[in-house]
Amino acid sequence: MKVKVNEVFHSIQGEGARIGRPCLFIRLTGCPLRCSYCDTAYAFYDGTLRELDDLLAETRQRLGPPRKGPNAPFVELTGGEPLAHPQAPELLRALLDLGYEVALETAGSHDLAAVPREVIKIVDRKTPGSGEVHRWLETNLDHMVPGQDELKFVLCDPADYEWARDWCAERQVWDRLEVLFSPVWGSLDPAWLAERIVADDLPVRLQVQLHKVIWGAEKKGV
């Protein structure tokens, strides 16, 4: 099996409930979405076809032996949109079989049914401000594991905040999933978002993109 890979890099997890943890990222090439705030357009086309065994060997070499606990070696499949690759579920299963903790970053535009249950699914529900709000499969909520998976909203403006708040309330997703609200870098003031979350008493986690705080918005491979 071959898969087109844009880059593989070892950094820290910059987003989500596991923010700050060392993580090996495997970024696949290609994405059918065109979000207004996309910061990885370089992954739309550029990449190299990699054999599965070669990719797994690099993962083992860079992460070392698997182990349990809060500092267990951690690998994330991202993109682009990784589930646009039919081979992605097989790759995720192979990474799990190595014994590592495995996460998937996805837009929720592709069916999660084939993704192994043990994979941590970080699902980005697109908002109106993204321009891709229609790219969503509602049935994906049925394949998200409470206590493990995360539902993320990247918010462009106050209207996106109100839309995301109401969407979550209608479905009561925060009763069973970790919900993340993230401001678009350079567009929505994080302080404003923090104040609104507190004022509205929302059971969500505010996140900023830690890798951009550390290295700046333009640096790749972090």
Q: What is the CATH number of the domain that holds 91?
A: 3.20.20.70
The predicted structure's pLDDT at residue 220: 75
186 is in an annotated binding site: no
27 is in an annotated binding site: yes
14 falls in which pLDDT band (50, 70, 90)?
Answer: confident
205 is in an annotated binding site: no
31 is in an annotated binding site: yes
- Please give the tally of structural domains in the chain: 1
Query: Is 222 inside a domain boundary?
Result: no
3-state SS track over the chain: CEEEEEEEEEEECCCCCCCCCEEEEEEECCCCCCCCCCCCHHHCCCCEEEEHHHHHHHHHHHHCCCCCCCCCCEEEEECCCHHHCCCHHHHHHHHHHCCCEEEEEECCCCCCCCCCCCCEEEEECCCHHHCCCCCCCHHHHHHCCCCCCEEEEEECCHHHHHHHHHHHHHHCHHHCCEEEEEECCCCCCHHHHHHHHHHCCCCCEECCCHHHHHHCCCCCCC
* 140/112 Cα distance (integer angstroms): 6
80 is in an annotated binding site: yes
48 is in an annotated binding site: no
The closest of 26, 85, 78 to 54, measured between CA atoms, is: 26
Query: Is 188 inside a domain boundary?
Result: yes
Q: Is the pLDDT assigned to residue 213 strictly greater than 90?
A: no
Each residue of 65-117: pLDDT tens digit?
998 887 889 999 999 899 999 999 999 999 999 999 999 999 999 999 999 99
23 is in an annotated binding site: no
62 falls in which pLDDT band (50, 70, 90)?
Answer: very high
Each residue of 186-207: pLDDT tens digit?
889 999 999 999 999 999 999 9
38 is in an annotated binding site: yes
Query: Is 27 inside a domain boundary?
Result: yes
12 is in an annotated binding site: yes
Query: Is 138 inside a domain boundary?
Result: yes
Query: Is 181 inside a domain boundary?
Result: yes
Each residue of 127-170: pLDDT tens digit?
999 999 999 999 999 999 999 999 999 999 999 999 999 999 99
Domain encompassing residue 211: 2-215
35 is in an annotated binding site: yes
Query: Is 55 inside a domain boundary?
Result: yes
222 falls in which pLDDT band (50, 70, 90)?
Answer: low
19 is in an annotated binding site: no
- Of 64 and 217, the structure prediction assigns the larger pLDDT to 64
